[in-house]
Structures are given as structure tokens and as C-alpha cells.
Amino acid sequence: MKDWLRAFASVFAAFLGVQSEENRERDFQQGRFSVFVVAGIALTLGFLLTVYVLVKVVMSFV
């Protein structure tokens, strides 16, 4: 469970473009590749959905 939380946090940091050296080393030593892939895809979908909903909401004011 902790693995997953950490993976999501790291992927989120990657989206922002900022990550600490300490976390990076931890991820590369203990992290599992598949967990990062799933977290990456999930957050990408989440981002797309956010943009989509945002546009829908804004357009509803037209």
C-alpha cells in the first residue's frame, strides 16, 4: 500500500517536474517498475479527465 502511495506521489512530482534526490534514490532502489507504469497511466488519464471536465464547465457558461 505504501509502495502505491509513494509511486503516485513520485509520478505527481514528475508531472510538476520537481523531485528530491532522496526520493529519486529511494524509488530506484525499492520501487517496482510495474507500479510506476500503472500510476503513470492512471494520473495521465486523471489529467485528461480534468481538462475535459474543465472545458465542459467553462463552455456551459456560453
Partner 1 sequence: MTKAITLALSLLAVPAWADWQVNMNEGVTAISREVFDLHMLIFWICVAIGIAVFGVMFYSIFKFRKSKGAVAEHWHENTTVEVLWTVIPFVILIGMAVPATATLMDMYDTSEADVDIQITGYQWKWRYQYLDEDIDFFSNLSTPREEIMNAQAKNANYLLEVDNPLVIPANKKVRFLITANDVIHSWWVPHFAVKKDAIPGFINESWVKVEEPGVYRGQCTELCGKDHGFMPVVVEVKSEEDYAKWVADQKAMKLAMAGEASKQFSMDELLAKGEGVYQATCAGCHQLNGQGIPGAFPAITGSSIATGSIDGHIDIVVNGKAGTAMQAFKEQLSAVDIAAVVTYQRNALGNSVGDMVQPSAIQK
Which residues form the interface with partner 1 (CB under 8 A)? 16-21, 58, 62
Least distance to partner 1, CB of residue 34, Å: 27
Least distance to partner 1, CB of residue 25, Å: 12
**Which of 1, 18 has the CB closer to partner 1?**
18
In which residue are the cell numbers 506521489 written? 9
**Which of 32, 47 has the CB closer to partner 1?**
47
Q: Are 36 and 8 in contact (CB under 8 A)?
A: no
What single string gives the DSSP state of each residue in 26-51? HHHHH--HHHHHHHHHHHHHHHHHHH
